[in-house]
């Protein structure tokens, strides 16, 4: 059954929960709701944050304080919008990202999994990954769909700096670092495409709900 619950986060935000676990079907409902609420342009809503199983609706805290926005005013509109969203199917965009599989931790993943490096690359690039949501840092996509055989524990000591474009495996997840940040995941490759550009009108290459395919490319000299 298509149920959801509303949980206010104080007076300025509302969390809509569609499920309790990381689940593809639940996440699809989150993204359908995100699209519907975004298009509805509800008064006082300044941000919508889809995650694994929740959509969080953020009001402008100052507008709530000054009395020009309130959760009460939008909550009455949500049931019909969410019902319509559940009925709506969207086709995900499929984004192909070229990857040079030459990361410094490829050997570590190979050793841990007992798979050859070539097999690690084959399996990683065979997957179709869902962008469950973006968070942690601008443009950082939480991807679902990693082959369970590829799961490898995070590094004991995180790197102080991971280069932008690094493709990594952390436990049962995989991701591409859009920006240079500290990071503790196993770096298996590199994607040369720009994934985050704050000066662009579309700053992030990946959007919530997209599907990602990694295409192996040879290292250029």
Binding site for other proteins (CB under 8 A): 7, 9-13, 15, 20-22, 34, 46-56, 58, 60-62, 64-67, 133-140, 142, 179, 198-199, 203-204, 207-208
Task: Specify the 3-state DSSP secondary structure of 11.
Answer: coil
Distance CA 93, CA 123 (A): 22
Question: Residue 13 or 188: which CB sits closer to other proteins?
Answer: 13
Strand order in the sheet with 45-50: 5-9, 13-17, 54-59, 45-50
* Contacting residues for 161 by C-beta, under 8 A, at least 6 apart: 180, 181, 182
- Shortest separation between residue 13's beta carbon and other proteins, angstroms: 4
- Shortest separation between residue 156's beta carbon and other proteins, angstroms: 18
Question: Residue 23 or 102: which CB sits closer to other proteins?
Answer: 23
Question: Residue 11 or 113: which CB sits closer to other proteins?
Answer: 11
Any bridge partners for residue 50, and if so which? Answer: 55
Question: Residue 109 or 195: which CB sits closer to other proteins?
Answer: 195
Question: Residue 194 or 217: which CB sits closer to other proteins?
Answer: 194
- Shortest separation between residue 26's beta carbon and other proteins, angstroms: 10
- Shortest separation between residue 136's beta carbon and other proteins, angstroms: 6
- Shortest separation between residue 131's beta carbon and other proteins, angstroms: 11
Contact of 166 with 187, CB cutoff 8 Å:
yes
Question: Residue 136 or 184: which CB sits closer to other proteins?
Answer: 136
- Shortest separation between residue 95's beta carbon and other proteins, angstroms: 14
Contact of 196 with 138, CB cutoff 8 Å:
yes
Burial 151-184 (b: 16+ CB within 10 A, else e): bbeebeeebeebebbbbbbbeebbbbbbeebebe
Task: Specify the 3-state DSSP secondary structure of 81.
Answer: helix
Neighbours of 87 (CB within 10 A): 10
């Amino acid at each position: 059954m298509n149920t959801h619950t509303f949980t206010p986060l104080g007076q300025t935000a509302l969390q809509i929960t569609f499920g309790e676990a990381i689940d593809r079907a639940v996440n699809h409902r989150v993204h359908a709701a995100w699209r519907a609420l975004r298009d509805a342009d509800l008064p006082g809503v300044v941000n919508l944050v889809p995650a694994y199983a929740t959509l969080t609706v953020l009001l402008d805290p100052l507008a709530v304080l000054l009395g020009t926005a309130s959760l009460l005013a939008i909550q009455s509109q949500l049931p019909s919008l969410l019902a319509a969203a559940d009925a709506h199917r969207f086709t995900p965009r499929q984004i192909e990202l070229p990857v040079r599989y030459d990361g410094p931790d490829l050997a570590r993943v190979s050793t841990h999994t007992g798979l050859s490096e070539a097999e690690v690359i084959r399996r990683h690039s065979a997957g179709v990954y869902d962008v469950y949501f973006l968070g942690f840092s601008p443009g950082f996509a939480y991807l679902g769909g990693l082959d369970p055989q590829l799961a490898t524990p995070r590094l004991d000591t995180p790197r102080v700096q991971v280069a932008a474009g690094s493709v990594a495996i952390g436990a049962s997840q995989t991701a591409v670092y859009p920006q240079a940040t500290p990071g503790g995941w196993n770096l298996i490759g590199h994607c040369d495409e720009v994934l985050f550009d704050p000066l662009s009108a579309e700053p992030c290459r990946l959007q919530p709900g997209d599907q990602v395919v990694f295409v192996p490319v040879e290292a250029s000299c």
